[in-house]
Homo-oligomer: A and B are copies of this chain.
Amino acid sequence: MTTDTIQLSKSPVTGKEYEIPAIKDDKAGIDAFVALHPGKKVVVVQGLGFVGSVMGLVVANALTEEYAVIGIDLPTPASYWKIRSINEGVFPVIASDPKIEIYYQNALKKNNYYATYDSHAYSKADVVVVDINLDVQKRSAKNKDLEGYNVDLTPFKKAIEAIGANCKEDVLVLVETTVPPGTAQKIVRPIMEEMLEKRGLATDKLKVGHSYERVMPGPKYIDSIQNFYRVFAGTDEKSADAVEEFLRTVIKTDEYPLTRLGNTNATEMAKVLENSFRAMNIAFMVEWSRFAEEAGVDIYEVVNAIRMRPTHKNIMLPGLGVGGYCLTKDPLLASWARMNLFGSEEKLGQSEKGVHINDKMPVYAFEYLQSQYNGPLEGKKVLLLGVSYLNDVGDTRYTPVEGFYDQLLEEGCEITLHDPHVKYWEEKDIWVNQDMGELLNSDYDVVVITTGHKDYRNNEDLLNKLVSKPSAFMYDTIGVWSKDEIKTLGEKHIVKVLGRGDL
């Protein structure tokens, strides 16, 4: 074997690089692991991403049953390190939730969480939990106008085929992936039955269900799986019963009762509807923020007044944009399913429009900067405070900061990044500074709040340091600065807040 055929997979957690094995065979490892746990049910979690790796942890720490858990992912540069990391004693997700480490140490002690890439694992499974990604391919213009999108089910179907090619005939396949409504019934179940038939196995013992997770990476990561309301359904009664039985062993259902819906179309729809609702509510505020700026109104003040009404507590605030893995694509998944899986001639037009509007927010935020900044931005030193898409977590997937950053770059700005939760910005392949003190030894022409981290809110030390700097343009795209802070900053700097009009 020559060196140029060796593929490497690097852990962003430890920096360690792993060689991906040329021969993909882990049967011995899997068999040895299962042999350690005689009589225990085997749960295979498919996908070791933000959801799957932690779901595996929760199942390994189930409440009322002892499971042997196998996490499975692909032996690719992007994923292979996760497999090795889990088996070597380093959990592959950095999170502020202390429970992650407690649960992981506990699993290590019990040696009941193994990771592999080998589909042989499915042959041992009593339950397969599907936690792989199902992506939407967006086509967007340079100005972020959404021009179209596509849902390619091929990788998802292949993953289901891998289960069907290896599993026992009475396996429970529990899909947790956010899928187009109709997927469990119209795609997963038919593939599984076809594969079983090909193998000469019965199809009447198969169980296929859907239950969606509501995982929030962050300080309550584990609780967002274990201590939270779950909605589930089966492709038939037997499947629903099996899902219920399994979920009762891992989730605190006495405090967070399960909700069983009539069919899997309903649970699949609930998930994308819930995210579309949120995406649409954010999109709704975009126009109103612009109107507020035009009318010299502080939209934050207005929204806070409206939130006094219990019926209006959930009205959203504006910001730099919408990011993350769900809100940016789920409305499109749903609209696609309506037309492609249920043959409707109508899309979910309003929900698609919401995605479109949200995608454009970073463009607007940049244009606002351009319109307010005195002179060209070319060559200016810009400090961006925040890279992740959500406050107080280190998740950069589809962060709106990217669109904003790209435009600054294109304009010829010299950009410095800070984020207390992001060491490495994977999508951009950039290392992010985490030491604010060091950063503030330099001077900047423009300082922008791009994520609403706690570290930037009510931080007197940060405020004092910013005030002590030479006159600059301060731009808050999130609304973290209070009126008093704006006043203090404004004595020395120019301060603009998106959605606050002229203050």
Interface residues of A (CB under 8 A from B): 181-182, 214, 229, 231, 259, 261-263, 265-267, 269-270, 273-274, 276-278, 280-281, 283-284, 287-288, 290-292, 294-298, 301-306, 308-309, 311-315, 334, 338, 342-344, 346, 348-351, 353, 357
Contacts and interface: CB of A to CB of B under 8 A. Distances in A.
B350 A295 contact: no
Given A291-B334, A350-B353, 6 more contacts: A214-B309, A274-B306, A277-B306, A280-B280, A284-B350, A287-B351
B309 A274 contact: yes
A263 B500 CA distance: 13
B344 A229 contact: no
A269 B291 contact: yes
Nearest to A315: B277
Contacts of A357: 350
A151 to B, nearest CB: 16
A503 to B, nearest CB: 8
Contacts of A274: 306, 309, 312, 315
A338 B292 CA distance: 9
Contact of A266 (B263, B297, B343): B297
Contacts of A266: 295, 297-298, 301-302
Identical chains bound together, number:
2
Contacts of A294: 338, 342-344
Contacts of A269: 288, 291-292, 295, 297, 302
A263 B302 CA distance: 10
B305 A346 contact: no
Which DSSP category, helix, strand, loop or mixed, fits chain A's interface? helix
Contacts of A313: 313-314
A297 B315 CA distance: 27
B305 A350 contact: no
18 contacts: A229-B308, A259-B308, A263-B296, A265-B297, A266-B302, A269-B288, A269-B292, A273-B288, A273-B302, A273-B303, A277-B281, A284-B351, A287-B350, A288-B351, A290-B344, A291-B334, A291-B344, A295-B338
A312 B262 contact: no
A229 B309 contact: yes
A259 B312 CA distance: 15
A290 B346 contact: yes
In this complex, which of A301, A302, A344, A353 has the most chain B Cβ atoms within 10 angstroms of its Cβ? A302
B314 A259 contact: no
B338 A291 contact: yes
A262 B351 contact: no
Contacts of A338: 291, 294-295
A123 to B, nearest CB: 34
Nearest to A265: B295
A270 B301 CA distance: 9
B270 A302 contact: yes
A279 to B, nearest CB: 10
A445 to B, nearest CB: 29
A348 B350 CA distance: 14
A280 B291 contact: no
A333 to B, nearest CB: 12
A297 B342 CA distance: 12
A267 B296 CA distance: 12
Contact of A181 (B231, B281, B290, B295): B295
Contacts of A349: 287
A235 to B, nearest CB: 13
Contacts of A309: 214, 229, 274
B273 A306 contact: yes
A260 to B, nearest CB: 9
Question: 5 nearest interchain CB pairs?
Answer: A229-B308, A266-B297, A259-B305, A265-B295, A231-B305
Contacts of A298: 261-262, 266
B287 A348 contact: yes
A309 B349 CA distance: 25
B350 A297 contact: no
Contacts of A276: 284, 288
